[in-house]
Amino acid sequence: NDTVCERKITMRIITGKYKGRRFDVPRTFKARPTTDFAKENLFNVLNGYIDLDGTMALDLFAGTGSISLELLSRGCAQVISVEKDRDHHAFISQCLKKLDDSNGIVIRGDVFRFIKSCKQRFDFIFADPPYALDNISQIPRLVMESDMLTEGGIFVMEHGKDNDFSQLTGFIDHRSYGSVNFSLFQHQETKE
């Protein structure tokens, strides 16, 4: 059946100033945008923890840029997307150009190196690494132990069903939507 092969993958911005804008994701991409269902539910949950308007946000393993674009649409002051793949990086840059939004910055690079060298702080950090990544379990600890989150800042890790991060410091919530799982963490300053 040829129609299955020809079906485009369309990424849609759910709400905010770019609501309804669509971008066709090349079928050759390994990365797939987080499903609308999972994305919508995640942002509904996030509303209880953080007001994204005017915040500084970071999207690690940005993939197609689906979360980055959603964050910009919801009023983040700045969204930095980190993506290693050359084609994905170019695609995110194209999407930002179409939106004509200068608050989005896309960096082509390795997420682990970026975490080690990053001096900037963020109110919201999202990570959607490939579920099969060897060192996927290290990511929440690396982010939470870095100085990247502001006090009260939220970190969301998207992962498969085989990962359980509920024992880690800062863990506050877990949500599951089909095969997509989100673990939420909140940074609390430690009192000396």
Q: What share of the chain is helix, strand, coil (3-state, %, to 5)?
A: 30, 30, 45
- 46-103 pLDDT, tens digit per residue, is 999 999 999 999 999 999 999 999 999 999 999 999 999 999 999 999 999 999 999 9
Residues constituting the chain: 192
Alpha-carbon distance of 63 to 128, in angstroms, equals: 8
User: Residue 5 and residue 133: Cα distance in Å, rounded?
Assistant: 27
Return phi, psi of residue 105, to 5°. Answer: -125, 130
Q: What is the pLDDT of residue 2?
A: 39
- Structure confidence at residue 30 as a pLDDT band (50, 70, 90): confident
Q: Is the pLDDT of residue 35 over 90?
A: no
The predicted pLDDT at position 33 comes to 84
pLDDT of residue 1 exceeding 50: no
At 7, is the pLDDT very low, low, confident or very high (cuts 50, 70, 90)? Answer: low
Cα 122 off chain centre by: 13
CA distance 135 to 183: 16
Distance CA 136, CA 35 (A): 20
pLDDT tens digits for 114-126?
A: 999 999 999 999 9
Q: Which pTM does this prediction carry?
A: 0.93
Average pLDDT, the chain: 92
| pLDDT, mean of residues 21-37 | 88
**Cα–Cα–Cα angle for 74, 121, 13, rounded to 5 degrees:** 20
